[in-house]
Amino acid sequence: MPASRRGSSSVTLPTGQTLALHTRTSEAEDLPHATKKKMADHLRKYEALFTLTPQRMRMIVEAFKESLELGLSKPGQVVPMIPTYVFGWPTGKEQGNYLAIDLGGTNLRVCLVTLQGEGKFEITQSKYRLTEEQKQEDGQQLFDFCAECLKAFIDSNIEGGDIEKGAILPLGFTFSYPCNQNRIDHGELIRWTKGFGAPNTEGHDVVTMFRKSLDKFKVSAEIVALTCDTTGTLIASHYVNPKTKIACIFGTGCNAAYMEHVGDIPKMAQLGIDADAEMAINCEWGAFDSFEHENLPRTKYDQIIDETSNKPGEQAFEKLISGRYLGEILRLIICELIDEGMLFLGQNTYKLEIPYSFDTAFLSLMESDPTDELLMIIGIFTHFFAVETTLAERQFFRALAKLVGRRAARLSACGIAAIVSKMGYLEEGCAVGADGSLYNKYPGFAERIHEGLQDVFGEKGRNIITYHAEDGSGIGAAIIAAMTKDRKLANRYPNL
């Protein structure tokens, strides 16, 4: 009788559904499979490819710092270092009802935020899932969808008594894609990221487009501020924890924001803003090392992902660390081993050959509780890809997932270290508000970032602490809308 392994588990789908799995995996000798020794030989090859040494990390940090400085010096750089026109930190005294809408990589989220002062707030929200078709259809249609959802949300809250009928509420619009801004309620889309490709949008002012849709559907809201989720995260996190100096998003995409002295932003010198004033900078650091590819440790799998993406050559940093791509990196390695006759011989592997079919959520599950992880791997491969796995293969897949996930976290640490080093935060230390599905859900991601910071800075790296951030795209956008309203009422840079 062939040996078998039985087990039950549940797998959470990327859609949020939970599936119960009852699996049986054969170890029968009549089914060809890779031996433990062969898998170990291959693993050594991938360890060499995906391991990032402290010395290499420090080199990346120095190159990263140069890109940040260049982006502050002049417009049109690879890392654009976008001035957000968010002046300084919140006071904690902001009050009132504000709407926030967030066009994210996966969902459209609409929020009603009541700021109560003293760092307190209440939030009501609804989510609407974006289809892949909506991400590629005409840009104005995309904003029409946003306006329809916002109108439905407002109408529902009027009925519930949370919004006064006839009230026109200030709206903070979270749009987490790189834009050129010359004031806080304006933004020309530089390029889509996170898999979006809606035509007739790049080069256009997205606030103007959204206002057109709001007028079309007679939505009772006034766009006061355009921001990105990272800038919102920076402001919301500081609102709750004043030690916060940097905010990062590690999710479908990746980005960072921090507060810079206007005097250290040469490309803004002509605006005549007080040099001692502070302004939040939206780094859009996912573009680091794009086009030239001189600094990041790209493997052939990263190159395939880049070349087959809708934006070849762009977003080089993001393609190595964001949740959109990690599962695809692992799938490409698996497919290479299938082609070499190493895996799943005699089995139909067509499901594994579908691009992006191996979700990053699967990597997260493969690195979950060590008592369940091998059983979880059985469930993933049998249920989603209809292939049987051996124990040696499961151990190999888990080790491979760790390599890919650890490289992503250590590269993320390089980005944080570049800002820390540039701003001189290392000695006194600082908190980093971090959000996104990778940071929040991928096992060990935060710990690996901290490990990476210590590899870059030595023991002083312990002074930099990341923590789960406050809701930037909801609460943060509302606080920024409140700050902007107060600033303009005080006639402080009213045209910005």
Of the residues 102, 144, 229, 306, only one is catalytic, namely: 229
Active site residue 229: yes
The pLDDT assigned to 2 comes to 33
pLDDT tens digits for range 232-275:
999 999 988 889 999 999 988 899 999 999 999 999 999 999 99
pLDDT tens digits for range 412-428:
999 999 999 999 999 99
Mean pLDDT for the stretch of residues 47-65: 97
DSSP 174-195: EE-S-EE-SSTT--EE----TT
Phi, psi (degrees; rounded to nearest 5) at 270: -70, -10
Active site residue 473: no
The pLDDT assigned to 354 comes to 96
Of the residues 9, 185, 191, 455, only one is catalytic, namely: 191
pLDDT at 17 over 60: no
Domains of the chain: 86-231+472-488 (3.30.420.40)
The pLDDT assigned to 177 comes to 86
Active site residue 191: yes
| Residue 31 structure tokens | 């089914």
Report how far residue 300's alpha carbon sits from residue 305's, in angstroms, rounded to the nearest whole number: 9
| Residue 70 structure tokens | 């260049």
pLDDT tens digits for range 371-407:
666 788 998 999 999 999 988 899 999 999 999 999 9
The pTM (predicted TM-score) of the whole model is 0.86
pLDDT tens digits for range 431-451:
999 999 999 999 999 999 999
The pLDDT assigned to 417 comes to 98
The pLDDT assigned to 8 comes to 46
In the chain, pLDDT over 90 holds for what percent of residues?
Answer: 75
Of the residues 176, 237, 322, 412, only one is catalytic, namely: 176
Q: How does residue 10 score in pLDDT terms, banded at 50, 70 and 90?
A: low
Q: What is the mean pLDDT of the chain?
A: 90
pLDDT tens digits for range 291-313:
999 999 999 999 999 999 988 99
Quickly count: other Cβ atoms within 10 Å of residue 101's Cβ: 24
pLDDT tens digits for range 449-473:
999 999 999 999 999 999 999 888 8
Q: How does residue 33 score in pLDDT terms, banded at 50, 70 and 90?
A: low
pLDDT at 20 over 60: no
DSSP 440-459: HHSTTHHHHHHHHHHHHHGG
